[in-house]
Amino acid sequence: MAKEWHWGWVIGANQGRFSVNSWKSSPGGRAACHGARGVVTRVLRECWPIAAMLLAVGLTDAGEPRGWKARVAVDWEGAPLRQAISDLARQQEVTVFLDRRIDPDRRVTLAQKEPLPLPLLLEHLAQQLDAEIVPVGSVLYWVPSGEGARIAGRLADLERECRHAWPELRGRTVALSWKSGARPRQLVKLAAERFGIELRGEETIPHDVWWEAHLPPLSAPELLTLLMSGFGRTFRPESKRRATVVGRDEVIVRNQSLFYANKKVASSVELQRAFPGVRWRRSGSWWVATGDSVDRGAVVQYLIRQDAAKRTSARAEERYTLTVEQQPVGAILKTLQDQGWRLQIDADVQGKLNQRVSFDVRRVRIEELLTKVLAPVGLQYRLEGDTIVVRAAPSGAGK
């Protein structure tokens, strides 16, 4: 059934349906970041105060990070990975944890004009950097390519083993923060103590020094996995709330790959048809893939194409009912932005956005609505997926 928008005339606050991050390198090593939830422009300090493993987190009532559902478009050119990811994490209220083997100062360039769900966008970027994303609780864990399936598989096994060995810890979570200069060996020990776990073998974790970070509430398997995986370590839960640190190669791991996707983007039937050698099941917001032939890059690109196709199809069926009396063109476009459209407006037509128009439409497509809004003031549009490009109409012409 087609979605139908009915408006009287209310210009609502921006609902944050999507955001745009734009980075451009400039002389002196500084970078400008332009974030759009409405219109926001900021210049970031050269000395970024939060380290690579930072983030920010906000949860829905169901325990899922709000930002996972946000649709994000980015324009990064030569942005340091740490800065780009940290700003994105703050804007969308999610936590992104960079594995110690990921270079946080690597420069990244990505122009993603069509907004994608945040985890899918990060996965798209990670592929360019020979990395991948693993969800660990409410954290998006950024790991080297080829590691994700082993880490996700071991975490799934640990969750089952810990429920059996430590039933009294079911549902218990612990948040953990530390200052720059912290040593992961001590952090692992501290995390275990917070859960009342007697941990042995932490001395086998190599020496390292970490930047400041703040992790949200996580279960024991989740928190210890984040702290140990970068060293190729895991643990064996034992009775009486004891555990032993071991190398991940010392345990049998059943690989599984996780991919973020709305159910409407791809069904199990569609995924099975596209990737016949893979078994698929749903776990929360993620598709879990098991099998020996999971091509992560191919799956991510498939989901991106499916996301674009499904959104284009849905947009084509939308209908708009709107009565406008002497309202600014810019305000009407802002309302469309609140409904999820992205705006790209030529600089030389900004003055025309203050001109007022009046019209009445009933159950029309976006094309007819835009003609009613723009043609009377000498503007025209072009649709590029979810983006409305607004520019001056040729002299004497109108769309």
Kindly state the tokens that stand for 350.
Answer: 């900004």
Q: How far apart are CA 146 and CA 143, in angstroms?
A: 8
Q: How far apart are CA 219 and CA 162, in angstroms?
A: 10
Is the Cα torsion angle 359, 362, 366, 368 positive or negative in sign?
Answer: negative
| Listed residues 250, 268, 289: the one ending a domain | 250
Q: How far apart are CA 10 and CA 396, in angstroms?
A: 32
Work out the end-to-end distance of the chain between its first and last CA atoms, rounded to an integer number of angstroms.
Answer: 29
Residue 135 domain flag: no
Q: How far apart are CA 284 and CA 260, in angstroms?
A: 9
Judgement on whether residues 241 and 160 belong to the same structural domain of the protein: yes
| Listed residues 208, 230, 250: the one ending a domain | 250
Question: What is the mean pLDDT for each group of 10 consecutive residues in the chain (399 residues)?
Answer: 44 32 41 32 26 40 66 88 88 90 91 84 90 93 93 96 96 95 96 97 94 93 97 96 95 90 84 92 90 87 87 79 91 86 88 93 90 94 85 72
Return the closest-CA partner of residue 88 out of 22, 172, 158.
22
Judgement on whether residues 154 and 235 belong to the same structural domain of the protein: yes
pTM check: above 0.75 = no
Is the Cα torsion angle 359, 365, 368, 373 positive or negative in sign?
Answer: positive
Q: What is the CATH number of the domain that holds 362?
A: 3.55.50.30
| Listed residues 250, 285, 301: the one ending a domain | 250
Residue type, 10: V
Judgement on whether residues 157 and 240 belong to the same structural domain of the protein: yes
Unique residue bearing structure tokens 């947009």: 315
Kindly state the tokens that stand for 95.
Answer: 């936590």
Kindly state the tokens that stand for 11.
Answer: 């210009």
Kindly state the tokens that stand for 250.
Answer: 């010392």
b (16+ CB within 10 A) / e for 131-151: bbbbbbbbbbbbbeeebbbbb
Residue 286 domain flag: no
Residue 212 domain flag: yes
Residue 388 domain flag: yes
Given a contact cutoff of 8 angstroms between Cβ atoms, the answer to whether 73 and 113 are in contact is: yes
Residue 48 domain flag: no
List Cα–Cα distances, 367 to 10, 340, 345, in angstroms. Answer: 21, 15, 16
Judgement on whether residues 333 and 245 belong to the same structural domain of the protein: no
Residue 41 domain flag: no
Map residue 332 onto helix, strand or coil. Answer: helix
Alpha helix stretches (DSSP H) within the chain: 81-92, 118-128, 148-165, 184-194, 220-228, 268-274, 296-317, 329-338, 366-374
Per-residue model confidence (pLDDT) at position 265? 85
Judgement on whether residues 334 and 242 belong to the same structural domain of the protein: no
- Domain with 346, as residue range(s), is 318-392
Kindly state the tokens that stand for 48.
Answer: 């970024």
Return the closest-CA partner of residue 209 out of 100, 102, 103, 106.
100
Residue 220 domain flag: yes
Residue 356 domain flag: yes
List for the chain the helix, strand, coil content (%; round to 5): 35, 35, 30
Domain count, the chain: 2
Judgement on whether residues 235 and 329 belong to the same structural domain of the protein: no
